[in-house]
Structure 1
């Protein structure tokens, strides 16, 4: 999966001439786990995170939290399942145990990971605000 993401980032930077500017901490020597939370503003914003991780050669440590429906997309669904991404139904009673299991697996890997989470419109629902506040 890492090579596929690398190919996409090369297309964005070299073919479409999209450039990102990174300011702040140097991530090149960062061996820590991280949680990246984005508000899904555009259709391409997730690709910018790929570009960032590619630039610092940490693309393989990226794990994305996705909607469960994406597991059913031909070829793509299988490959992102194989990459160890976390799929959520957006129903807390179903997702709670799945999250515990996958995060436990991530912890057992003993490698730094970046978990990439889009909040989508989920946070706008009152019942989800209560869950997140707990």
Structure 2
């Protein structure tokens, strides 16, 4: 294993992986789970996706309120991100429908989850 990809966007990110995994990045479906360390962790994820050639098919599970953000939120809504209200009673069907729809997604995609409770303030 070696330092394969370095991204410097306000904070520095080093990804360590074997050459075989690096070769497959962007060529198959992936679930990306990231610690929520800052306000721009989603941007860093987009940079990884862009450099892996799959930015156009990157999706995320987001708070419902995010879709009302001008430009960024709207683009996420039009890109069919999954928006949750943080209530299992309300979100169960949203998740089931959204994940079912991804089963036949026509190209490799990354589905990102930004885990709450891991953020430093």
Category of TM-score, reference length = shorter chain:
0.7 to 0.9
Please name the residue that 1:32 is paired with.
28
Pairwise CA distance, 1:116: 0.3
1:3-14 aligned at under 5 Å gives the runs none
**Does residue 119 in structure 1 map to residue 115 in structure 2?**
yes
Gapped regions of structure 2 (runs ≥ 5): 1-6
Compare the two structures and name the one with the higher strand fraction. 2
Let me know the Cα RMSD of the aligned residues.
2.5
Report the TM-score, using the length of structure 1 for normalisation.
0.69
Compare the two structures and name the one with the higher helix fraction. 1
Pairwise CA distance, 1:60: 1.3
1:83-98 aligned at under 5 Å gives the runs 83-98=79-94
Deviations 1:38-71 (CA, angstroms, capped at 9, x unpaired) = 1201122222111111112111121011100112
Closer/same/farther in 2, CA of residues 62 and 30 from structure 1, 3 Å limit: closer
Closer/same/farther in 2, CA of residues 93 and 31 from structure 1, 3 Å limit: same
Pairwise CA distance, 1:76: 3.0
1:33-112 aligned at under 5 Å gives the runs 33-112=29-108
Please name the residue that 1:22 is paired with.
15
Moved more, 16-25 or 32-41: 16-25
* Contact 1:28 1:57 (C-alpha < 8 Å) held by counterparts: no
Aligned length: 109
Q: Equivalent residue of 2:103, what SS?
A: helix
Closer/same/farther in 2, CA of residues 118 and 27 from structure 1, 3 Å limit: farther
Report the TM-score, using the length of structure 2 for normalisation.
0.75
